[in-house]
Amino acid sequence: MEITLVYWELLAVRLGFIIAFEHVVFFFLQAIDWMVPNVSESLELKMKRERYLAKQGRQSGGPVGESACPGLQPSVHLFLAMLAVSVFLCHSACRKCALVHVS
């Protein structure tokens, strides 16, 4: 089989079509990405409200850790349970504590 000039021209045209088609698809996808928002309007409104409430909580001068939303305050029972577990783990892992309790 002998490769002629027509073969190379046809190959160049095919390659050019593939590159042009790829660029058209890339441009189309970029246009869709630009038109469709990443965050919905309702979620953006909720995020703005959360930022506003957090800002109001910081400006109110309340104690550190106090939330602007009372429903988001940490549970006292959960805090006490975590404290009890940490004390238990400290006493069971620490040799000094074990020596103090044994003697």
pLDDT at 62: 54
Cα-based torsion angle of the residue sequence 30, 34, 40, 43 in order, rounded to the nearest 10 degrees: 100
- pTM beyond cutoff 0.95: no
pLDDT at 57: 79
pLDDT per 10-residue tile (average), the chain, 103 residues: 91 97 96 87 89 82 52 58 68 54 48
**DSSP 8-state symbol, 72:** G
Both tokens assigned to 51: 């930022």
Residues 6+ apart with CB under 8 A from 65: 74
